[in-house]
Amino acid sequence: MDVTTTPHEISSADVTVLEGHISEVFACAWSPASSLLASGSGDSTARIWTISDGPCGSIKPSPASIHVLKHFKGRTNEKNKEVTTLDWNGEGSLLATGSYDGQARIWSGDGELKQTLIKHKGPIFSLKWNRKGDFLLSGSVDKTAIVWDTKTWQCKQQFEFHSAHTLDVDWRNNSSFATCSNDKMIYVCKIGDPRPVKTFSGHESDVNAIKWDPSGSLLASCSDDWTAKVWSLKQDKCVYDFKEHTKEIYTIKWSPTGPGTNNPNQQLLLASASFDSSIKLWEVEQGHLLYSLAGHSQSVYSVAFSPNGEYLASGSQDKSLHIWSVKEGKVVKTFRGRGGIFEVCWNKEGSKIAACFSNNTVCVVDFRM
């Protein structure tokens, strides 16, 4: 069913605007352990902002609470140093950033550069810590993925299976993971194994993103071929082939629900966000479309479920952040910014949403129903 509605607008008085970046902000991520928010920009810096509790409109971060993580030595912001991806470790003590210069950098929560990881020969597009925190995984335009040992910061293993850019990587558990590429292939790899443990083929164009469900049994993928697919290690063909979108699908997210999560009694859902300006919510027990969320007027770049699984935030090129009720499939709140939105993310309490914009800002919005 198609769902549209005129939602409750969030006024700019209830929003904290974080200013300081001098180019588009591509990535943002809350620390899983504290009120720190990281952002990564085309200006060759990442920033760590301390977001105090309390209503957003009333808080302005002091300059002392902002750490600027420079990815260049000189004064100029070199174009090849733009920050493309970032990820906190599970304890929230270290932030990894990936850059166009092919280097991964490790920073402390107060912005100190701890390590620079040099082995990739092209921009890093994806970077993920495993849950245990003993390995960091990076995927690069150089067609490879590298597992780094976080005790020594040495390359533990380089995986060279793709014939084109590695676009995304995602851990299944602490020792195995998946990679995808614009060679249309998906490989499931395991540390120590010289060959992929599983190969998934079926997409007809670039595979933009992959995500394991919370239990690590299903892998979702999305592609420029307009489809999202769900795979299982138990079979070669995809379990589901979702074909309802009418343009490229940029990203997918699983809900934090179902077996093994903090919300075990809610059903597992998959959200897909597309350049057709819609978001689809899929139920994966039977594999059918639950809702088509039609509220954006341009490409949707990012979706994120709230920690309790009851809400979905979406950010679009149309400058709007929508918050949807998952149960009802309708918008409950909207904030309109001043640029296209590249990424949205929730803090661990589910009380604040950050969105990063093409007009060089990051906005933090309060969420209370």
- Mean pLDDT of the 92-119 span: 96
Give yes or no for residue 181 having a pLDDT over 50: yes
As given in the structure block, the two tokens for residue 19 are 């200013």
Would you list the DSSP string of 57-74?
GG----GGGEEEEES-SS
pLDDT for residue 62: 74
Give yes or no for residue 304 having a pLDDT over 60: yes
Per-residue model confidence as pLDDT tens digits over 272-292:
999 999 999 999 999 999 999
Helix (H, G, I), strand (E, B) or coil at 221: strand
Q: Which of 281, 282, 308, 277 is nearest to 294 (CA)?
A: 277
Cα distance between the two ends of the chain: 24
Q: Any idea what the Cα angle at residue 42 is, between residues 352 and 272, rounded to 5°?
A: 50
- Mean pLDDT of the 123-129 span: 97
Give yes or no for residue 131 having a pLDDT over 80: yes
Per-residue model confidence as pLDDT tens digits over 28-38:
999 999 899 99
pLDDT for residue 6: 54
Give the integer Cα–Cα distance in Å for 105 and 177.
21
- The enclosing domain of 111 has a CATH number of 2.130.10.10
pLDDT for residue 52: 84
Total domain count, the chain: 1
Per-residue model confidence as pLDDT tens digits over 240-259:
999 999 999 999 999 999 98
Q: What percent of the chain has pLDDT over 90?
A: 88
Could you tell me the sign of the dihedral formed by the alpha carbons of 244, 245, 249, 255, in that order?
negative
Q: Which residues of 296-315 are buried (b: 16+ CB within 10 A; e: fewer)?
A: beebbbbbbbbbbbbbbbbb
Q: How many residues does the chain have?
A: 369
Amino acid type, 78? E
23 pLDDT band, cuts 50/70/90, is very high
Would you list the DSSP string of 74-124?
SSS--GGG-EEEEEE-TTSSEEEEEETTSEEEEEETTS-EEEEEE--SS-E
Give the integer Cα–Cα distance in Å for 65 and 62.
5
Give yes or no for residue 2 having a pLDDT over 60: no
Q: Which domain holds residue 185?
A: 2-366
Per-residue model confidence as pLDDT tens digits over 47-66:
999 998 878 877 677 777 88
Helix (H, G, I), strand (E, B) or coil at 179: strand
Question: Do residues 189 and 177 lie in contact, with contact meaning Cβ atoms separated by under 8 Å?
Answer: yes
Q: What percent of the chain has pLDDT over 70?
A: 96
Give yes or no for residue 302 having a pLDDT over 50: yes
